[in-house]
Amino acid sequence: MGQLYLNKVRKHFGHFEVIKGVTLDIKDGEFVVFVGPSGCGKSTLLRMIAGLDDTTDGDIVIDGEKVNALPPVKRGIAMVFQSYALYPHMSVFENIAFPLRVEKLDEARIKEKVEGVAKILQLDQRLQQRPGLLSGGQRQRVAIGRAIVREPKIFLFDEPLSNLDAALRADMRIELTKLHRDLKATMIYVTHDQIEAMTMADRIVVLSGGDISQVGAPLELYHKPENVFVAGFIGNPKMNFVPVTATAVSDEGVTIRYEDKTMTVPVEGRADVVGKPLTLGIRPEHVELSGGDFNLTVVPSVIERLGVTTIAYASLGPDQPFCAVLPGSVGLQAEQPMAACFKASDCHLFDEAGLALER
């Protein structure tokens, strides 16, 4: 079992409240990813779960047992860091065996367990080498091996792939997904990388300023962000935001105006928004050069041609970037006006408090 329950967990560093009452239920076997901007408290929350930082207030409960007062080794967790923290003078075998030696397992059992883990991680040909001879990806596999060998209830990963190059990161992502499937263990993973979060997570927890902004399956966050923060954070390039005014509500949705154009967006027709400023959100990948229900004229300053797609970067005004992800075949020129068209059904609307009007 590896069930984790955080109940109104808080953390202060001096007068500074870094974690502001986080409540979260993580099921046994779930792969949960914490994302959020730098400084939002992802690593602190992970370190509190591990027992490396104490908890100012609230409960951390693993499999029904409150573990706040337990030291890290007694919590049944294993943590893998960005810096692999391997012992350079020890072989791969000894690095993986280290936690078992601390537990004083007998030699035959250690050999059996280390060889089993090395096989899973394709390190069986490397067991006698020192870490210095290994690639970054292999070193990280050794660090993961050292975590697996303890058979923890919960694995914690703090940006484990961020020291690797893009190609190796993609390989390791696939290996971690397979590992999760094979071990069926609970995994909590902190990352800056959207692709890692979207591809590996059963659920993503978006943190902002020490608080949970939204929790959901990756595509739920993509399609139904509950607020403007999550809308802008999930998705790459990020969602475009256009300042509009609500002019009417009806059964069809909310009618908005931007400059002299109007459109009815099929969202919850909340009467209190009429006459108020709203933020319209449209993802760059939903912008086309023709068709749709609404069109703007923008002047891209930069065009990036990536082969399969062309990305046009424009702006609607100061601090109002507008980006379009278009097919690779379009013939656009920088500094030449282009039409930016989109469907009402692809639009999101956010009220003055930044909360989404339900789609």
Binding residues for ligand ATP, rule: CB under 6 A, are: 13, 18, 36, 38-44, 192
Q: Are 93 and 107 in contact (CB under 8 A)?
A: no
> CB of residue 22 vs ligand ATP: minimum separation in angstroms?
12
> CB of residue 346 vs ligand ATP: minimum separation in angstroms?
31
Whose Cβ is closer to ligand ATP: residue 39's or residue 291's?
39
> CB of residue 326 vs ligand ATP: minimum separation in angstroms?
32
> CB of residue 99 vs ligand ATP: minimum separation in angstroms?
25
133 backbone φψ class: left, alpha, beta (φ>0; ψ -120 to 50): alpha
Whose Cβ is closer to ligand ATP: residue 40's or residue 326's?
40
Angle, in degrees to the nearest 10, between helices 166-183 and 136-148: 20
> CB of residue 38 vs ligand ATP: minimum separation in angstroms?
3
Other beta carbons less than 10 A from residue 336's beta carbon? 9
What residues contact residue 224 under an 8 Å CB cut-off, 6+ apart? Answer: 216, 356, 359
Spatial distance between the Cα atoms of 169 and 52, rounded to a whole number of angstroms: 27
> Cis link prior to 152 (omega < 30° from 0)?
no
Q: What's the half-sphere exposure (Cβ side, CA atoms, 13 Å) at 350? A: 22
Spatial distance between the Cα atoms of 93 and 316, rounded to a whole number of angstroms: 58
Spatial distance between the Cα atoms of 54 and 71, rounded to a whole number of angstroms: 10
Whose Cβ is closer to ligand ATP: residue 23's or residue 345's?
23
Whose Cβ is closer to ligand ATP: residue 161's or residue 312's?
161
**H or E segment to which residue 253 belongs:** strand 253-258
> CB of residue 45 vs ligand ATP: minimum separation in angstroms?
7
> CB of residue 136 vs ligand ATP: minimum separation in angstroms?
19
